[in-house]
A and B are shown apart, each in its own frame.
Chain A
Amino acid sequence: MATSLDIRTEPGTPVTHRRPGSPRRLRLSRLDVKYSPYLYIAPFFLLFAVFGAYPLVYTFWVSLHEWDLLAQDHPFVGLSNYSALMSDTDFWNSVYNTLGIFVISTVPQLLLALWLANLLNRQLRARTFFRMGVLIPNITSTAAVAIVFGQLFSRDFGLINWVLGGVGIGPIDWNASKLGSWIAISTMVDWRWTGYNALIFLAAMQAIPRDLYESAAIDGARPSRQFWSITVPLLRPTIIFCVIISTIGGLQLFTEPLLFNSGTNPIRGGSLRESQTMTMYMFENAFAPNYNFGYGAAVAWMLFALIVVVAIVNVLIIRRGARSS
C-alpha cells in the first residue's frame, strides 16, 4: 500500500508551489494530503467493519450466553460454552476430520498442481487452450460439483463402485467410513482447485530467469535435477502462498461434505460423523436440530482460533525459509 500512497501525494505538492498566495487552497491541499489516503482505504475498512469485525465481536458476545435461538431471554453464562466444548468428543472429532480432509486433499493437490504447471510451462501446441482448460473446474459451482461427485461415489448406483466392481472390488460404502468419505470429499476439492494452483505455479515458474536453466544444462543437470534444484526452491514463496490459501479454504470446508451426505440431517456428516467438518458442527449446533446459538458461536470462535494457530505456523515457516535462503 505504501507505494500507491506516495504516488497519490505527488500530484498535490506542485499545486502548492504554483499558488503560494492562497492560504485556503493551501489548507485544503494539506487536508487532501493528510486525509484523502484514509478516504481511499476507507471502503475496505468500512466493509470489513460491517461484515468482518462486527460479526466477529458479536459472535464472541453470543458465545458467552446460553442462547436458544427462539427464546426471549439469553442468560449470560461466561465461558461455560467453551469449557463444554473442550470436553465435547464430537467437536474434537470434527477438528480431526477437518484436519484429515485438509491433509489428504492439499498434499496431492499441490504436488499435482506443480506437475501440471511444469508440463504447461513447456513448448506445447495450443498452450493457452490447455492453460485455460485447467481452470475450468474452478469456475464450476461447488454445489454442482458436490452433487455430481456424490452420485459418482454412490454406494449402489455410483460409477466408481461400478468400475471397482468390474475389477472385483466389492461395493464400497463411501459415506460409511472415515477414510472413504475423506477420499471422496478430497477428490471434489482437488478437482476444483488443482488447476487454480497450477496456474499460480505456472506464473511463478515463468518469472524464473531462463539463463539459470541454461547454465545448469551446460553444467550437465538433467531436467529432473533442474526441476528440483532450480524450479522448486525458487517457487518457495509461491508454494507457501498456495499452502496458506488452501489452509484457509480447507479449514472452512462446508459445501462439499454437506452435499456429499444427502438424506436425513446431512449436517451430521454420516451416522458416526465420519465426514463432519468444523463448520458443519458449528451449523449443527447453532441451527437445526439444536438451535443453541451460543454453543455454535463458541465453535465458530474455536475455528477462528485454529485458523490463527495454523496461520502462525505458516508465518514461522516463511520466516525460517527467508532466513535460510
Chain B
Amino acid sequence: MKGALMHVNSRGRRARGGSAAAVAVAITMATLLAACGGDDGDSGSADGPITLTVDVFGQFGYEELYKQYEASHPNVKIVERGTGSNLDEYSPKLTQWLAAGKGAGDVVAIEEGLLVEYKANPGNFVNLLDHDAAGLKGNFMEWKWNQGLTADGKQLVGLGTDVGGMAMCYRKDLFEKAGLPTERDAVSKLWPTWQEYIKVGEQFKAKNTGAAFLDAATNTFNTIVLQYAGTGGGFHYYDTSNTLVVDSNPVVKQAWDTTMDIIDSGLSGKYQAWSDDWVAAFKQAKFATIACPAWMTGVIEGNAGAGATGKWDIATVPGNGGNWGGSFLAVPKQSKHQAEAVELAKFLTSPQGQIGAFKAKGPLPSSPQALDDPAITGATSAYFSGAPTGQIFGTGAKSLKPVYMGPKNQAVRTEVENAVRTVELGQRSPTDGWADAVNNAKKAADK
C-alpha cells in the first residue's frame, strides 16, 4: 500500500516550495551519509579496546561465558545479537550480510542443516586451521569436527557447539488423565518402537482428554527420518556425493510411511510447528507428547511457561536414538578482528564453554570431555520434574550416528515436511502427498 502514500505526497505538491524540497533532500542525504559512516565506530586500534559481535538465534546460553571472557580479556567487549530469534529469521539475514560483505558479526552461529550451503562458498569465512584450530580436534566428537570441514578437508569453517540428542517429552498430567503411567522409566518402556508409540497414542486418544497425542506430524516426521537415516546409510535427502535421493532412499519412504500411520490414527494436533497456534497449544496443554531434541527442552520451557513447571517430563525416544540439529560457530572474513574473534569462538566451543552453555539453556555439548563431566552427567531439570537431562541426552550422544546434509538440505526438507503437512490437514492423500514431496523436492534442489 506504499503507492497510496506516495500519491498523497505528490498531490500536496502545490503546498511544497522548491526550498522545502531542497531542505528535505539535504536532510535525506545527511541521514544517508551518517548511516553509511556509522558502522566504523567500533573498529578501535590494535591495542585499544575492541568490540566483538556474536550473532546467534534461539538460546545459546552464553551470557555468563561472555562475562568470564571479558574478565580475562580486558581489551574485549562482547555484544550478542539475535538471542531468541527464529532460525528462519536469522539465516536469511546472515546470508545477506555475507553477500553484502558487511554487517555480519565477528562470530556467527550456523545451524547444521544450513552449514552445507555456507560451506559451498567457504571464501566467506576465515579458515580456522590457519589459526591453530587443528589441535582442538580431540575436543569434539569426530563427526561433529568433520562436519565443520569443507569437502576437501582443507578449510575448517566452523567449530561445533551442541548436538541435538533425542528424547520424547510428555505431559504427566495428561498421561494421568488418560490412565497411562507417568513415571519416566515406565513411560519409556511403553514405546520401544514407533509402532508401539502409535498404539499408546491410540489408547490415549480413546480416553478423550481434550488434548491431542502429539503436536505436529512434521516434527515427528523429521525426528523419525533423522533417526532412520542415522541407523541406516547415514544420509537422508542427499547421498554423500550430493545426489538428491528423496525418492530412492528407502529410509525416507519408511519414515514417511510411519508418519502416515501416525496421521492415520488421528494422533496429531495438526499445529503448524513454530506458529502462534503451536505456541498457544503448549500453554493450553493441547498435546501430550513432543519429539524432543535436547534444545527443545528450552523451547518447551519458554512456550509452556512457568505455570507448567513440574508438569512435563522426559522419556526416551521411540526407536533408536537420533540427532536433530546442533550448531557451529564461524568467523566471517569480513570481520575486522579475525584473530580475536577466533579466540572467542575457541573459548565458547571449548569443553568448559559447552558445559557453561548447557547449564544456562540446555544445548547438549558436542565435546566428549564435556559429556563426561559431572556437571553434565549429574544435571537435572527442575522444570521437567527433576529429570536427569544430562544422563537422558548425554548417554546416547557419544554414540550418535550423524546424518549427512546435502547442499539444498533446508529447501528440500521444507518441501518434504510441507507434503507431510498437506496429508495431515487432509488436503492430499498419502499417495499424492508422496508424489508432491518427491517432485517439489527435486524442484527445490534445482533452484
CB-nearest residue of chain B to A36: B18
Interface segment out of the listed A10-18, A24-32, A258-266: A258-266
Return chain B residues, CB-CB under 8 Å to A262: 272, 274-277
Interface string of A216-243 (1 = CB under 8 A from B): 0000000000000000000000000000
B422 to A271, Cβ gap below 8 A?
yes
Task: Given A245-B3, A249-B3, A264-B272, answer yes or no on A272-B422 (Cβ-Cβ < 8 Å).
Answer: yes
- Bound together, the chains give a CA A265 to CA B444 distance in angstroms of 14
Return chain B residues, CB-CB under 8 Å to A193: 1, 4
B99 close to chain A: CB less than 8 A:
yes
Partner pick for A263 among B92, B272, B411, B447, CB 8 A cutoff? B272
CB-nearest residue of chain B to A90: B443
B25 to A43, Cβ gap below 8 A?
yes
- Bound together, the chains give a CA A173 to CA B425 distance in angstroms of 9
- Which residues of chain A from 178 to 214 have any CB-CB distance to chain B below 8 Å in the complex? 192-193, 196
Q: Closest CB of chain B to A192's CB: distance in Å? A: 7
Q: Closest CB of chain B to A140's CB: distance in Å? A: 12
Q: Closest CB of chain B to A303's CB: distance in Å? A: 13
- Bound together, the chains give a CA A52 to CA B311 distance in angstroms of 56
Return chain A residues, CB-CB under 8 Å to B218: 264
Task: Given A70-B99, A271-B421, answer yes or no on A264-B21 (Cβ-Cβ < 8 Å).
Answer: no
A175 close to chain B: CB less than 8 A:
yes
B447 to A47, Cβ gap below 8 A?
no
Return chain A residues, CB-CB under 8 Å to B418: 265, 268, 271-272
Interface segment out of the listed A111-119, A126-134, A290-298, A312-320: A290-298
Return chain A residues, CB-CB under 8 Å to B271: 156
- Bound together, the chains give a CA A226 to CA B62 distance in angstroms of 71
Interface string of A76-110 (1 = CB under 8 A from B): 00000000000000000000000000000000000
B281 close to chain A: CB less than 8 A:
yes
A135 close to chain B: CB less than 8 A:
no
Interface of B is mostly: helix
Task: Given A156-B277, A289-B410, answer yes or no on A249-B120 (Cβ-Cβ < 8 Å).
Answer: no
- Which residues of chain A from 253 to 299 have any CB-CB distance to chain B below 8 Å in the complex? 262-266, 268, 271-272, 285, 287-292, 295
A69 to B277, Cβ gap below 8 A?
no
Q: Closest CB of chain A to B422's CB: distance in Å? A: 5
Task: Given A40-B21, A173-B425, answer yes or no on A252-B3 (Cβ-Cβ < 8 Å).
Answer: yes
A176 to B1, Cβ gap below 8 A?
no
B203 close to chain A: CB less than 8 A:
no
Task: Given A47-B25, A264-B417, answer yes or no on A245-B99 (Cβ-Cβ < 8 Å).
Answer: no
A159 close to chain B: CB less than 8 A:
no
Task: Given A70-B95, A176-B425, A265-B414, answer yes or no on A154-B277 (Cβ-Cβ < 8 Å).
Answer: yes
Partner pick for A4 among B13, B410, B411, CB 8 A cutoff? B13
Partner pick for A43 among B24, B272, B276, B284, CB 8 A cutoff? B24
Partner pick for B277 among A71, A157, A292, CB 8 A cutoff? A157
A69 to B425, Cβ gap below 8 A?
no
Return chain A residues, CB-CB under 8 Å to B272: 175, 262-264
Task: Given A176-B427, A193-B1, A245-B4, answer yes or no on A290-B123 (Cβ-Cβ < 8 Å).
Answer: no
CB-nearest residue of chain B to A283: B92
CB-nearest residue of chain B to A288: B92
Partner pick for A264 among B117, B118, B274, B277, CB 8 A cutoff? B274
B91 to A288, Cβ gap below 8 A?
yes
CB-nearest residue of chain B to A42: B25
Task: Given A4-B13, A39-B18, A43-B21, answer yes or no on A245-B7 (Cβ-Cβ < 8 Å).
Answer: yes
B277 to A70, Cβ gap below 8 A?
no
A69 to B96, Cβ gap below 8 A?
yes
Q: Closest CB of chain B to A241's CB: distance in Å? A: 8
B273 close to chain A: CB less than 8 A:
yes
B306 close to chain A: CB less than 8 A:
no
Return chain A residues, CB-CB under 8 Å to B180: none
Return chain A residues, CB-CB under 8 Å to B427: 176, 271-272
B95 to A291, Cβ gap below 8 A?
yes
- Bound together, the chains give a CA A47 to CA B22 distance in angstroms of 12
A157 to B88, Cβ gap below 8 A?
no
Task: Given A156-B286, A262-B276, answer yes or no on A70-B117 (Cβ-Cβ < 8 Å).
Answer: yes
- Which residues of chain B from 237 to 293 have any CB-CB distance to chain A below 8 Å in the complex? 271-278, 280-281, 284, 286
- Bound together, the chains give a CA A53 to CA B300 distance in angstroms of 48
Return chain B residues, CB-CB under 8 Å to A44: 21
Task: Given A245-B7, A262-B272, answer yes or no on A287-B95 (Cβ-Cβ < 8 Å).
Answer: yes
Return chain B residues, CB-CB under 8 Å to A36: 18
Among A192, A264, A265, max chain B CB count under 10 A is at A264
A46 close to chain B: CB less than 8 A:
yes
Q: Closest CB of chain B to A172's CB: distance in Å? A: 12
Partner pick for B2 among A70, A71, A252, A290, CB 8 A cutoff? A252
- Which residues of chain B from 396 to 418 have any CB-CB distance to chain A below 8 Å in the complex? 408, 410-411, 414, 417-418
Q: Closest CB of chain A to B14's CB: distance in Å? A: 7
A70 to B118, Cβ gap below 8 A?
yes
A43 to B22, Cβ gap below 8 A?
yes
B339 close to chain A: CB less than 8 A:
no
Task: Given A154-B276, A156-B277, A289-B411, answer yes or no on A46-B96 (Cβ-Cβ < 8 Å).
Answer: no
A264 to B273, Cβ gap below 8 A?
yes
- Bound together, the chains give a CA A262 to CA B273 distance in angstroms of 9
Among A39, A43, A192, A287, max chain B CB count under 10 A is at A43
B425 to A4, Cβ gap below 8 A?
no
A248 close to chain B: CB less than 8 A:
yes
Q: Closest CB of chain B to A157's CB: distance in Å? A: 5
Return chain A residues, CB-CB under 8 Å to B1: 142, 192-193, 249, 252
B377 close to chain A: CB less than 8 A:
no
B78 close to chain A: CB less than 8 A:
no
Task: Given A245-B3, A264-B417, A271-B427, answer yes or no on A70-B273 (Cβ-Cβ < 8 Å).
Answer: no
Return chain B residues, CB-CB under 8 Å to A70: 95, 98-99, 117-118, 120-121, 124
- Which residues of chain A from 25 to 81 have any CB-CB distance to chain B below 8 Å in the complex? 36, 39-40, 43-44, 46-47, 68-72
Interface string of B15-41 (1 = CB under 8 A from A): 000100110110010000000000000
B447 to A295, Cβ gap below 8 A?
yes
Return chain A residues, CB-CB under 8 Å to B25: 43, 46-47
Interface string of A116-154 (1 = CB under 8 A from B): 000000000000000000000000001000000011001
Query: Chain B: residues with CB nearer than 8 A to chain A?
Result: 1-4, 7, 13-14, 18, 21-22, 24-25, 28, 88, 91-92, 95-96, 98-99, 117-118, 120-121, 123-124, 218, 271-278, 280-281, 284, 286, 408, 410-411, 414, 417-418, 421-422, 425, 427, 444, 447
Q: List 21 A-B contacts (CB under 8 A).
A: A4-B14, A8-B18, A36-B18, A43-B21, A47-B25, A70-B95, A70-B99, A72-B121, A156-B271, A156-B281, A245-B7, A249-B4, A263-B272, A263-B273, A264-B274, A271-B425, A289-B411, A289-B414, A289-B444, A290-B447, A295-B447
Instruction: Return the 7 tightest CB-CB contacts between A and B, nearest first.
Output: A263-B275, A248-B3, A40-B18, A249-B1, A263-B272, A288-B92, A271-B421
